[in-house]
């Protein structure tokens, strides 16, 4: 049996920011073929600040909880601040995840990064930092 923190259970039972943003400024879709989790993260950007963030996730409780948490963490942040949100930060914000579920926080952070990259490509505001991250993969 996997033991989850209260925070994980809260975000699983009552996920925040579920849904789709019509005419989103950036959309990131990620999936893990091993476990079957699929996430779509939507962002709305206003004056360089992430004004809104929503998600649609098909997956386990940890995938839903990390998606929910990343949308909470990113709202009100600049693009530069949002790019610094790591999978470890998502897991810590949830009070930790069991080692076997850490890949879920990777997906949430990766989905956010893809949504930001999508926004940057659409607006022509691609930062050098994002290009470096792509080269490392």
Q: Any idea which residues carry the catalytic annotation?
A: 35, 104
Give residue for tokens 């879920």: 104
Q: Which residues of 61-78 are buried (b: 16+ CB within 10 A; e: fewer)?
A: bbbbbbbbbbbebbbebe
Q: Which residues of 93-130 are buried (b: 16+ CB within 10 A; e: fewer)?
A: bbebbeeebbbbbbbbbbbbbbbbbbbbeeeeeeeeeb
Let me know how long the chain is: 137
Q: Give which of 52, 54, 104 is closest to 76, Cα–Cα.
A: 52
């Amino acid at each position: 049996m996997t033991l989850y923190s209260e925070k994980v259970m809260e975000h699983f039972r009552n996920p925040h920011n579920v849904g789709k943003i019509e005419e989103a400024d950036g959309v990131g879709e990620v999936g893990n073929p091993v476990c079957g989790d699929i996430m779509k993260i939507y962002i709305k950007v206003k004056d360089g600040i992430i004004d809104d963030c929503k998600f649609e996730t098909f997956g386990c409780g940890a995938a839903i909880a990390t998606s929910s948490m990343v949308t909470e963490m990113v709202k009100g942040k600049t693009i530069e601040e949002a790019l610094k949100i790591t999978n470890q930060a998502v897991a810590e914000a949830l009070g930790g995840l069991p080692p076997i579920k850490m890949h879920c926080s990777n997906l949430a952070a990766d989905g956010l990064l893809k949504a930001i990259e999508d926004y940057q490509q659409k607006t022509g505001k691609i930062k050098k930092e994002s290009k470096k991250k792509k080269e490392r993969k």
